Structure 1
Amino acid sequence: MAKVRANGLLHHVQRLTHSPIPHTPAPHARVPLPHPPTIVLLHGAFIDSLASFYFTLGPHFADAGFDVLMYDLRGHGRSERPPTGYTLEDFTDDLAALLDALDIDDPVNLLGNSFGGTVALDFAVHQPERTACVTVVESGPATRGWAATMSGALHQATGSRTEEEALAWFVAEYGALASTRQGDDLHDAHIARLGRAAGRLIATTSIAQDIPGGRTLTDDQLRALDRPVLLINGQGGLVAEETARLATLLPHCEVAVVPGQKHSVLVEDAESVGAIALDWATRRLPFAGGVV
């Protein structure tokens, strides 16, 4: 574990680097590059942290020859929690500052889950020279429609008056987003901890107001994004309609759907998501016979 100061805050950072001897079978074989490419894994908001990647996709990318950078977003996990400063541009500025602090100068691969995908797309639009390609899992860009949806959902969460009510709301939301949890499974200790942590984050910061109140992207900005983008969805997830729209806007876009999954596809079927994301990212490495 390391703490890195960037954009005025201490961020909890984890890095997984490639080993000299590859031990992951095809299609996750090591790619011959003069130096390992960096992939930044960005987790979702409120009930998430870098742990969702540390135990899923992170090791697969490291085994395949990538330098993997994971960090807890501001206010989450073990990163510093300021009382204010949670607009989308704050999260994007954090990423740029972390890359500077860690002396990562080459363009990076970005992979974001849920809100992390929104951060990844915002970064790619505003800092394309630092972006190689983008993979988003059950996510999309911050548009005006996205902001309105987020505002409505967060208003429901902040309307809870007691910890028990807030916890019940998060448990219900988690159940609606998951494909494998049912009945009593929704009330286990792990979900309870996630709900309480999210409730504390909302109660002690301005995140519920800041996230939907930040900057948004226009269709013209999305049309101008010249970096490859992969959209990975759960078959029964939340973003199918937005994905169809993005596929007509983004000039270099591909879509992959994981059958039988909902919004929590990263955690519930990490094997499928990892295989899709790793194959796609590897084929876009310039020294691996792919295209940028």
Structure 2
Amino acid sequence: MAKTPTGDITTHVQELRAGAAGEGEPPVVVLVHGLLTDSLASYYFTLGPALSAAGMDTVMYDLRGHGRTDRPPTGYRLEHFVEDLALLLDALGEHRPVHLVGNSFGGTVAAGFAAWHPDRTATLTMIESEPPVATWATHIADGLAHARRDLVHDQAIEWIKERYGAHTARLSRTAARILQTTTLAEDVPAGRLIDDDLSALRCPLLAVFGADSGLSAQVPELEAKVAQCRTVVLPDQGHSVLVEQPGRTRDLVLDWVREHHARRSGAWAGAVG
């Protein structure tokens, strides 16, 4: 693990280099985690090691304000998160187009990067995510307002502990501290957006949803508006697809990256299995 200067903050990053030989240059996959209760650690137990073992250079990092990355009091608009990623790739000397994988808010960050840095993006995978359009801004504003109001109460934390366990309760306390000590709740919904027609998303898009999640209602719109789009809806799943279906999610991402990297390079063949 390392901490790397990225503009006004220092970012905690973990690189897992390709663990199996393949022909040609391997793809590079960047994993972007969710908001408040998440960090790069979630990828250790789901996608990161599997992608590396399959012959892909894999980058995981903590978003600003999260994990071991710096937590400035301000500067949490979407464009700040996107610029952090661009600066991180520069600092790592990574100039290959990247395959972005984002979970929840991480998918929104990844979509923003894909829209504003199309030359640096090979593919985009959004797991239980929304692109950064006006409806997303409304949804995230409501969710953050409720979280900031509710998580300061011990009763709310105890309810979370009883229902989801002590670990989730600890993460919720951390989320409360972030919301009380930074401008994140105000900044995120006020950030830069893309047009509702999604014309800014020009790279291949894989969108994965749980059937029981309200976000799966986006499927018809994504398929209609994004030219190179594949959607997968997993039955009997809610928002926690990455955690509850890590094997299925891993296979979807592996197949997606392999397919599109092979198209771009015409030569690479990573490990199978």
TM range (shorter): over 0.9
The verdict on how the C-alpha distance between 1:256 and 1:189 changes in structure 2, with shifts beyond 3 A counting, is: same
Q: SS of 2:102's equivalent?
A: strand
Cα deviation digits, residues 200-241 of structure 1 (max 9, x gap): 110110001111111111134x22432100001111123112
The verdict on how the C-alpha distance between 1:69 and 1:153 changes in structure 2, with shifts beyond 3 A counting, is: same
Cα deviation digits, residues 161-213 of structure 1 (max 9, x gap): 844155368x39xxxxxxxxxxx442x21111111011111011000111111
Which residue of structure 1 aligns with residue 177 of structure 2? 200
In structure 2, stretches of 5+ residues that fail to align are 269-273
In structure 1, stretches of 5+ residues that fail to align are 23-29, 173-183
Q: SS of 1:277's equivalent?
A: helix
Please give the residue correspondences for 1:81-96 in structure 2 after superposition, counting only pairs within 5 Å: 81-96=71-86
Which residue of structure 1 aligns with residue 189 of structure 2? 212
Mapped contact 1:135–1:277 kept (Cα < 8 A): yes
Whichever residue aligns with residue 125 of structure 1, its letter is A
- The answer to whether the aligner puts 1:253 opposite 2:218 as a matched pair is no
The verdict on how the C-alpha distance between 1:161 and 1:237 changes in structure 2, with shifts beyond 3 A counting, is: closer
Mapped contact 1:85–1:206 kept (Cα < 8 A): yes
Identity of paired residues, percent? 44
Please give the residue correspondences for 1:105-144 in structure 2 after superposition, counting only pairs within 5 Å: 105-144=95-134
The verdict on how the C-alpha distance between 1:168 and 1:145 changes in structure 2, with shifts beyond 3 A counting, is: farther
The verdict on how the C-alpha distance between 1:161 and 1:63 changes in structure 2, with shifts beyond 3 A counting, is: closer
Q: SS of 2:232's equivalent?
A: strand
- Counterpart of 1:156 (choices 146, 150, 174) is 146
Cα deviation digits, residues 63-100 of structure 1 (max 9, x gap): 11111000000000111000000000000000000010
Task: State how far apart, in whole Å, the 2-side matches of 1:162 and 1:108 are.
Answer: 38
Q: SS of 2:208's equivalent?
A: strand
Using CA pairs under 8 Å that are at least 6 residues apart, name the structure with larger relative contact order, 1 or 2.
Answer: 2
The verdict on how the C-alpha distance between 1:125 and 1:241 changes in structure 2, with shifts beyond 3 A counting, is: same
Q: SS of 2:265's equivalent?
A: coil
Which residue of structure 1 aligns with residue 271 of structure 2? none
Mapped contact 2:151–2:173 kept (Cα < 8 A): no
- Counterpart of 1:279 (choices 216, 234, 255) is 255
Task: State how far apart, in whole Å, the 2-side matches of 1:168 and 1:142 are.
Answer: 33
Across the aligned residues of Structure 1 and Structure 2, the Cα RMSD in angstroms comes to 1.8
In the superposition, the TM-score normalised over structure 1's length comes to: 0.86
In the superposition, the TM-score normalised over structure 2's length comes to: 0.92
Q: SS of 2:14's equivalent?
A: strand
Whichever residue aligns with residue 287 of structure 1, its letter is S
- Counterpart of 1:41 (choices 31, 34, 37) is 31
Task: State how far apart, in whole Å, the 2-side matches of 1:254 and 1:142 are.
Answer: 18
Mapped contact 2:152–2:176 kept (Cα < 8 A): no
Task: State how far apart, in whole Å, the 1-side matches of 2:210 and 2:126 are.
Answer: 12
Q: CA deviation at 1:159?
A: 2.2
Mapped contact 1:166–1:199 kept (Cα < 8 A): no
Q: CA deviation at 1:134?
A: 0.4
Mapped contact 2:11–2:62 kept (Cα < 8 A): yes
Q: CA deviation at 1:101?
A: 0.5
Q: SS of 2:230's equivalent?
A: strand
Cα deviation digits, residues 126-164 of structure 1 (max 9, x gap): 100000000010002111111111111212222238441
Cα deviation digits, residues 258-292 of structure 1 (max 9, x gap): 222110110111001111111111111133579xx
Mapped contact 2:26–2:55 kept (Cα < 8 A): yes
Task: State how far apart, in whole Å, the 1-side matches of 2:167 and 2:44 are.
Answer: 17
